Structure 1
Amino acid sequence: MFTKSSSWFTPQRLLWASVVVALMTITLKTWAWKLTGSVGLLSDAMESFVNLASAIFALVMVTIAKRPADEDHPYGHHKAEYFSSGFEGILIIAAALGIIWAASHRLASPQPIEQVGLGLALSVGSSVLNGVLGWVMLQASRQHRSIALEADARHLFSDVWTSAGVVLGIAMVAWTGWLWLDPVVAIAVAINIMREGAHLVWRSSQGLMDEALEPEVQAQIQQTLARFAGPKLRFDHVTTRRSGQRRFVDLHMHMPADLTLGQAAALRSDVEQALMHDVPGLRATIQLLPTNVEAYLETNEDAPAAAS
């Protein structure tokens, strides 16, 4: 959906927007909590502080990830985005535990909620801001292949659902008069955002461990290679990994041994260009081998035994 005309929506600009929106929602939700005294709205306001810290850290990590390769980091700084995603997940879990702690005390001593109408209006207004920004950030994250941007967008959507649950809980309290519903909703909200935090930490860990590319991207790579494959040309040992916005593929290309070095290099260049054209952000490393030669790949059985 995002094209070159939407190039204004860079990760850095969107994360700056996330910082501004987080400050606005903190103000609105804290005001709503002060007016109503609802622990549910307090939990909502606490998550907005997490939004702010996460957006600031993500902005720093995205800026680092864009640095070019240097002597100390010859493969670039792209993995910095995974630290942002993991940090955001940890903050979400910490906020959820704080919400549960506050709600458990209110559950033991329920208190009436005041000025429900205005408090809910402020909460809904802040949710609209988060929802619009989250949608824009999620679309942009797919274009830029930014896990930091995706993590922040999904957190904003989680915040929208959190606010919806809180609003529903407070409305039910006002309608039924059951004061215990307010802290129960807050605890349910905390459990939900804790699940989201755990998911972000898991995604971050998989990226740091060089997780393979998505199945649809691997299928596109195989489709591109199939255009070149034939009786005298074959590919094997195709491995992929993702590092932040970058995608990598390593493979062996077997060809007739009687080709000149120039012919072999030209053919490899054609394959590399086709791969990078069909899969945006891909970096291909192709090892040339004669048709009748197989490469030796170390396996667990081949690895040296650990010293006793």
Structure 2
Amino acid sequence: MTETTADNRAKLTRSAAIASISVALILVALKSWASWQTGSTAMLGSLADSALDLIASIATLTGVWIASMPADQDHRFGHGKAEALAAIFQVMLIAVSAFGIAARALSQLAGGTQTSAAGEGIAVSAIAIVLTFALLAWQKYVMNRTRSLAIQTDHLHYKSDLLLNLAVIAALVLDQYAGFGMADPLFGLAIAAWLAWGAFTAAREAVDDLMDREWPEEKRLAFVEAAALHPELTNLHDLRTRASGNRDFVQFHVDLPGTMTVEEAHDIIERVEKDLCQRFPNMELLIHIDPRGHVDEPGNPLVEEDEFAKLEGDS
């Protein structure tokens, strides 16, 4: 990830959220007209998704705005969790949307209604695809520079919208021009299932953030390897990692000789912290020093585990 200042990150995430709101407003207007013209369940599902996207994008803007606030006396670790909360809110909306679309599709299957004015619906879906591609490109640019969880969840919405709009086109073509009357409700059910799966995936990532899940193993290993480049450190243990929005928080214990002065130990840790924070931008690091040979918490393997020893064992 390219290192980005806090102010630039805030501007980028806000711009992506505002772009999402703008696209959603246009699509809601177009799809409302197309749904009225066609009577298509697939189009109605697409409209419901865009309407929820609009609400979710507003939630995203709120989340990234709060997350960009600096740490204060009441929130000394910052406000990064606001992005995960915004993502959870979006997930709830997606789940409600999926349930409503599925119910409408099942009702249509039982009733056997047919769509009309397929041309208008196809044109609106094509416009939606073009606008969505443009939005996804900008969101991808912002994500690569900010790691915003809320923007990532919003990006997932609009990625699914590409398939959703293609499904609407296919449903209208099959229903109107191929005479396959069940195409529209069947595609509606498929869209509902796709939305439900997307909600589950996004929820899992947001919950991981809220529950302070450890870093992925590859990233954790890379961190230990970077720390191991400092030969003055031994027995790196009680390593704990977590993420909050776009910020990482890491702490660990390390052994230094008991005969070393406080000033000498402080200088070593300062150099280590500076190097590791350069290698892992947007990280807050806390290092605790133990005198060599000290055992922190007997019987607790999570605390006692020597990450350097594991590294040598794997090599």
TM-score scaled by structure 1?
Answer: 0.90
Residue identity matched to 1:180: M
CA deviation after TM superposition for structure 1 residue 2, in Å: 6.9
CA deviation after TM superposition for structure 1 residue 3, in Å: 8.1
Query: What does residue range 20-169 of structure 1 map to in structure 2 within 5 Å?
Result: 20-169=22-171
**CA displacement 1:255-308 (0-9 Å, x = unmatched):** 1122221111111011111111111111111001111212227859xxxxxxxx
Mapped contact 2:121–2:172 kept (Cα < 8 A): no
Residue equivalent to 2:313? none
Structure 1 segments unaligned to the other structure (5+ residues): 301-308
Mapped contact 1:268–1:286 kept (Cα < 8 A): yes
Matching of residue 274 in structure 1 with residue 308 in structure 2: no
Q: Distance in 2 between matches of 1:299 and 1:82?
A: 31
Query: What does residue range 207-222 of structure 1 map to in structure 2 within 5 Å?
Result: 207-222=209-224
Q: Distance in 1 between matches of 2:157 and 2:276?
A: 33
Residue identity matched to 2:220: Q
Q: Distance in 1 between matches of 2:3 and 2:274?
A: 22
SS at match of 2:77: coil
Matching of residue 245 in structure 1 with residue 246 in structure 2: yes
Q: Distance in 1 between matches of 2:140 and 2:96?
A: 24
SS at match of 2:229: helix
Q: Distance in 1 between matches of 2:218 and 2:137?
A: 23
Mapped contact 2:174–2:181 kept (Cα < 8 A): no
SS at match of 1:49: helix
**CA displacement 1:211-262 (0-9 Å, x = unmatched):** 11133321221121111035x6342222211111110111112111222211
Residue identity matched to 2:76: P
Query: What does residue range 253-272 of structure 1 map to in structure 2 within 5 Å?
Result: 253-272=254-273
Aligned length: 299
Residue equivalent to 1:223? 225
Q: Distance in 1 between matches of 2:26 and 2:3?
A: 29
SS at match of 1:259: coil
Mapped contact 2:37–2:116 kept (Cα < 8 A): yes
Q: Distance in 1 between matches of 2:209 and 2:3?
A: 26
Identical-pair percentage:
28
Mapped contact 1:81–1:244 kept (Cα < 8 A): yes
Q: Distance in 1 between matches of 2:191 and 2:173?
A: 15
Give the alignment's Cα RMSD to 1 decimal: 2.2
Mapped contact 2:116–2:176 kept (Cα < 8 A): no
SS at match of 2:66: helix
Residue identity matched to 1:275: L
Kindly tell me: are residues 94 and 298 of structure 1, through their superposed partners in 2, closer, same or farther at Cα, counting changes over 3 Å?
farther
Q: Distance in 1 between matches of 2:298 and 2:89?
A: 36
TM-score scaled by structure 2?
Answer: 0.89
Which 10-residue stretch deviates more, 48-57 or 157-166?
157-166
Q: Distance in 1 between matches of 2:116 and 2:150?
A: 39
**CA displacement 1:31-70 (0-9 Å, x = unmatched):** 2222222111111010001100100011111111122222
Residue equivalent to 1:206? 208
Residue identity matched to 1:82: A
SS at match of 1:114: coil
Once superposed, which parts of structure 1, at least 4 consecutive aligned residues long, lie more than 3 Å away? 1-4, 297-300
Kindly tell me: are residues 257 and 299 of structure 1, through their superposed partners in 2, closer, same or farther at Cα, counting changes over 3 Å?
closer
Kindly tell me: are residues 297 and 87 of structure 1, through their superposed partners in 2, closer, same or farther at Cα, counting changes over 3 Å?
farther
Residue equivalent to 2:234? 233
**CA displacement 1:102-129 (0-9 Å, x = unmatched):** 2222212223322212320111111221
Which 10-residue stretch deviates more, 146-155 or 113-122?
113-122
**CA displacement 1:2-44 (0-9 Å, x = unmatched):** 787xx58610111011101100111122222222221111110
